[in-house]
Structure 1
Amino acid sequence: MRLAATVLCLGVLFAAPFAEASTTQYTVRNRRIEPNQPLAVALQEAGLPVEQAGAVISALEGVFDFRKSRVGDQFRLVMKGGELDFFDYRQSSVDEWQVRRDGDKFVGSKRAIEVEKQVGLVSLEINNSLYEAALAAGEDPLIGMVLADVFAWDIDFYRDVRKGDRARALVEKFVSKGRILRYGEVLAATYEGESVGHKRVFRYEMPDGRASYFQEDGSSARKAFLKSPLKYAHVTSRFGSRFHPVLQYVKAHNGVDYAATVGTPVWAVADGTVTVAHNTGAGGNTVCLRHTNGFETCYLHLSKFGAGVRAGARVSQKQVIALSGNTGRSTGPHLHYALKRNGAYVNPLNQNFPRTEPLPKNLLPDFRAKLAPLAQQLDAVSVAAVGAQK
């Protein structure tokens, strides 16, 4: 929706670029970038004269990469007596550019946003969903995706979550003006669940700079395979015989279907080599990977292949290999995921893969020393919660 308003020297949306007498009139025009609309065209369609639109573009050259302009980006024109006085362009809470009048010329710059990194405790109790639990705790719902990443080897955050489950995490938070912009690394986390039991992991940086997650005894939190090829999605069709919705007869379903909107990132469940990366007809756009110990995985009905994903390419666990879609013989957007062992299809949902190599023994003393304060902070939350219930 396009807006236009006349205001009397009020503070503007993203900053306060002027402070003059209260009788000065300004016209403020708020707009968004439309599909196939370059910024120069958007400025002119917002009513900015051609020469002033050119001046804005010139002021931003070398400051803003116009190729990164996206549909939905916000911009605002502050007009004074029909002349541009101020322009700002916003992509996110931390990505904003401005053009200010300086005498007879315009000067462009990227607005400096103060961002503070904090380490905070997140404590969630799940009554309905992880999403609602995050909101109830005053957290950004994205914390659910962060936890799904940390526990990806042990917990499927759609199938395994039960009412009354609890999650706690010591996590980095990037904050601006008291608002969480994003989450960083999870330093330690616990999950207490009815179906998965008690899980507890700690982030540890190896001497070579690589970081991974380990359990308290030094065993790896990682497994050879993830529990799901999606961070968070629910199963709509399980492994086994079923009535095929398109072919209209009972047919073996050699995989698992996950509900996923078109464009959902699909990650490799394990390290492997790409054997298939093309349209296979009924399967639509398909990626298949060959793994160790005779395992193979396939991902069907994709909308797009990941960067560099082609036959012969090596991929790593958690690498985004494609985006989900609705191609091939499909009744709606979803991901079909199949797992083979020694050439035969097996049920992906009932596999129990071993953990990867534990922490080397010579690193255990350092690991225990570093996890001790993290464990103490996690336990403090638990003790406080128990005390509150008494």
Structure 2
Amino acid sequence: MSPDDARRQAIREHNLRAAAQNTANERLHVDPRDLAARLPFNGRWTRRDWAHASLFATLGALVIGLVPGFSNAMRVVEHAPEITTLALPLPPLPKAAQRAEPQRNWEVVRVEPGQTLGAIFQERGIPAATLHRLLDASPDRQALARLRPGAELAFEQAPDGRLLAFRYDRSDTERVELSVSGDQVAKKVIERPVEIRTAVISGKVGRSLFHSARRLGLSPAVINTLTDEVFKYDIDFDRDVAASDRFSVVVEQTWREGELIRSGPVTAAVFTAKGKPFTAVRFEREDGKAEYFTADGRPLKKSFIRSPIQYARLSSRFGTRRHPVLGTQRMHKGVDYAARTGTPIMAAGDGRVVSVGWQGGYGNTVVLDHGKGHTTLYAHMSRTAKLRRGDRVSQGQVIGYVGSTGLSTGPHLHYEFRVNGVHRNPLQHTMPPPEPLTGAALARFKAETAPALARIREVEQVLYASVSTDQDQRVAAAGTGKGGKG
């Protein structure tokens, strides 16, 4: 390079350094007036400035709060201990668990009315030869030949239909299981313990006594006992019962494996109809015959029932009338109940058969002698029960069936009530009261029935706070106490 070129290059570099120095000085030394002129802020904050400041302050607070949390979480992860899995040997299973039988696949069949064991086996495709082998191995061959409707049988069958096992209940406490293996049948008897509990069931009639009682757990048989046996002499359940009336029943219940299998008999009951309580207590006489009594020991069972037919229509009353067949005015010495042909006719009271058969215009007729000069006559039957002269009959026993034999214009029962040969109106005549318990029998009655009456009183005092003291005393008239069978 020539001396002139070197000199010019040095001058150029010097000028560049000087320009750079001037630029840096300008950035460091800015005139405040020039800075104010450049910035839009004029010393007073606008709404936009305040909004921006609030936003930045919120973001700052969030950052300050979150950063420590992230820091702690990272520290927990960093210091988490290591997990080591070890394979430990398990103790051997108990021998009882090793011998546990596999799940059995039983199919339960309930016997329908008219079904036989042979028909049930045929429906399941089980050969008759297998059935015969089971009957030969079973000690209950006769019982299996006469199955009761409702009885439960159970079958275990292979996928191809072969019978593996068959079981049935011999009684409430015993179940018999018959296992089939080829031509061999193995028998096993399984004990099934039962528990007898005494329960007090109380409720109101509501829209239907039957449905209310069933909902509370009373069986149809127990309900029928209350309406058709215990209180039938004192309460007309078709006319005298209101929705607000209540009932309380002490009943024995049989439980097995947590299931209620049977209820009854009714030990004691109180039915409050139209504000009046009617009490009934079950008591066995010395001859072992059980009856229902009032709280003071008087039998509920009257000597006679008013109507020998249940739920029948009274078609002709006692007194003078025009005979529907003869057309003449004559005394009607009984009452007529219209009912369908074949309706059962019951004996009005305990008695002895005086005559049975055809009696002129009465048609098929039964006459009963009840003692103490009381007799009853039942006429126009379609047929009589299998009775003979001299037979003893019980109150409520069916002695014949409604018909229209003899001088009759339609199916009905002609019923007469006589006292020492004189016809009386059975709807108005005062029936002789039953003899009450006395002496030692009455003392035993009070001792045995007091616990049941006390239970009813306690339950009703809890459920029905409005029960009056007078009613409580009448319910508990036979005594007080707790516990005991009943």
Same fold by TM (over 0.5)?
yes
- 1:142 aligns with 221
- Alignment-mate amino acid for residue 207 of structure 2: N
Judging by fraction of residues, say which structure has more strand: 1
Alignment of 1:1-390 (within 5 A): 20=102, 35=114, 39-40=117-118, 42-44=120-122, 46-60=124-138, 62-69=140-147, 75=153, 77-80=155-158, 81-88=160-167, 98-101=177-180, 104-107=183-186, 113-148=192-227, 149-176=229-256, 177-184=258-265, 186-194=266-274, 197-207=276-286, 209-229=288-308, 233-240=310-317, 254-255=334-335, 257=337, 267-278=346-357, 287-292=366-371, 293-298=373-378, 301=381, 305=385, 309-318=387-396, 320-322=397-399, 336=413, 338-342=415-419, 346-387=424-465
Alpha-carbon displacement from aligned partner over 1:346-390 (angstroms, at most 9, x marks no partner): 55444432321121234444443444333322221221233289x
Deviates more, 1:345-354 or 1:46-55: 345-354
Q: Distance in 2 between matches of 1:327 and 1:175?
A: 49
Give the conservation status (yes or no) of the 8 Å contact 1:124–1:133.
yes
Alpha-carbon displacement from aligned partner over 1:217-260 (angstroms, at most 9, x marks no partner): 33333321134546xx423334429xxxx98x999794353768
Deviation at 1:159, TM superposition (A): 4.5
Q: Distance in 1 between matches of 2:463 and 2:426?
A: 37
Deviation at 1:170, TM superposition (A): 1.9
Deviation at 1:162, TM superposition (A): 3.6
* Distance 1:359-1:119 versus aligned 2 partners, 3 A rule: same
Give the conservation status (yes or no) of the 8 Å contact 1:93–1:181.
no
Give the conservation status (yes or no) of the 8 Å contact 2:349–2:370.
yes
- Alignment-mate amino acid for residue 295 of structure 2: E
Q: CA RMSD for the aligned pairs?
A: 4.7
Per the alignment, in what secondary structure is the counterpart of residue 291 of structure 1?
strand
Higher relative contact order (CA 8 A, sep 6+): 1
- Alignment-mate amino acid for residue 179 of structure 1: L
Per the alignment, in what secondary structure is the counterpart of residue 190 of structure 1?
strand
* Distance 1:114-1:146 versus aligned 2 partners, 3 A rule: farther
Alpha-carbon displacement from aligned partner over 1:115-145 (angstroms, at most 9, x marks no partner): 3322211223223332123124332233221
Deviation at 1:325, TM superposition (A): 6.7
Instruction: Give the share of equivalent positions with the same residue, in percent.
Output: 25
Give the conservation status (yes or no) of the 8 Å contact 2:377–2:415.
yes
Q: Distance in 2 between matches of 1:129 and 1:20?
A: 48
* Count of aligned positions: 358
* Distance 1:136-1:71 versus aligned 2 partners, 3 A rule: closer
TM-score after normalising by structure 1: 0.70
Give the conservation status (yes or no) of the 8 Å contact 1:123–1:168.
yes
Per the alignment, in what secondary structure is the counterpart of residue 269 of structure 2?
strand
- Alignment-mate amino acid for residue 384 of structure 1: V
Per the alignment, in what secondary structure is the counterpart of residue 463 of structure 2?
helix
Gaps of 5+ in 1: 1-17
Alpha-carbon displacement from aligned partner over 1:182-227 (angstroms, at most 9, x marks no partner): 311x3322222239x4322333344554443333333333321134
Per the alignment, in what secondary structure is the counterpart of residue 270 of structure 2?
strand
Q: Distance in 2 between matches of 1:90 and 1:286?
A: 46
Q: Distance in 2 between matches of 1:219 and 1:33?
A: 43
Q: Distance in 2 between matches of 1:387 and 1:60?
A: 57
Per the alignment, in what secondary structure is the counterpart of residue 280 of structure 2?
strand
Deviates more, 1:103-112 or 1:380-389: 103-112
- Alignment-mate amino acid for residue 311 of structure 2: H
Per the alignment, in what secondary structure is the counterpart of residue 435 of structure 2?
coil
* Distance 1:46-1:300 versus aligned 2 partners, 3 A rule: farther
* Distance 1:330-1:27 versus aligned 2 partners, 3 A rule: farther
- 1:14 aligns with none
- Alignment-mate amino acid for residue 128 of structure 1: R
- Alignment-mate amino acid for residue 171 of structure 1: V
Q: Distance in 2 between matches of 1:63 and 1:99?
A: 13
Q: Distance in 2 between matches of 1:341 and 1:273?
A: 15
TM-score after normalising by structure 2: 0.58
Alpha-carbon displacement from aligned partner over 1:36-95 (angstroms, at most 9, x marks no partner): x75335534542223223223323354443552357766554321342112345799889
Give the conservation status (yes or no) of the 8 Å contact 1:239–1:253.
no
Per the alignment, in what secondary structure is the counterpart of residue 271 of structure 2?
strand
Q: Distance in 2 between matches of 1:371 and 1:349?
A: 33
Deviation at 1:275, TM superposition (A): 3.1
Q: Distance in 1 between matches of 2:190 and 2:295?
A: 44
Q: Distance in 1 between matches of 2:253 and 2:191?
A: 19
Per the alignment, in what secondary structure is the counterpart of residue 387 of structure 1?
coil
- Alignment-mate amino acid for residue 335 of structure 2: G
* Distance 1:102-1:262 versus aligned 2 partners, 3 A rule: farther
Q: Distance in 1 between matches of 2:437 and 2:173?
A: 38
Q: Distance in 2 between matches of 1:118 and 1:29?
A: 27
